């Protein structure tokens, strides 16, 4: 698996990645949505799929999603 990278290097184009959220101390599947609700913000992958509301994440690190099993 890839190494964790600083959040400053994460893609900001809506690409889903794994992020380490410092507030919840958990790994989350998320994407940076440039204009979600007017302000750019990180959103959980489940929010992207189902349109659920979610609290704003405060990730410090990220890595690409792993490849699916063969």
Q: Identify the pLDDT of residue 20.
A: 92
In a domain, residue 19? The reply is yes
Its domain, for residue 46, covers: 5-64
Please count the structural domains in the chain: 1
pTM to 2 decimal places: 0.75
Provide the pLDDT confidence category of residue 56 given band limits of 50, 70 and 90. low
In a domain, residue 70? The reply is no
Asked if the model's pLDDT at residue 10 lies above 90, the reply is: yes
CB 53 within 8 A of CB 44: no
């Amino acid at each position: 698996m890839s190494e964790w990278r600083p959040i400053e290097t994460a893609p900001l184009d809506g690409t889903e990645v794994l992020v380490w959220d410092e507030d919840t101390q958990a790994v989350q599947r998320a994407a940076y949505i440039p204009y979600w609700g007017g302000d750019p913000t990180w959103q959980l992958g489940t929010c992207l799929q189902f349109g659920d509301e979610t609290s704003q994440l405060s990730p410090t690190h990220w890595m690409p999603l792993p490849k699916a099993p063969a």
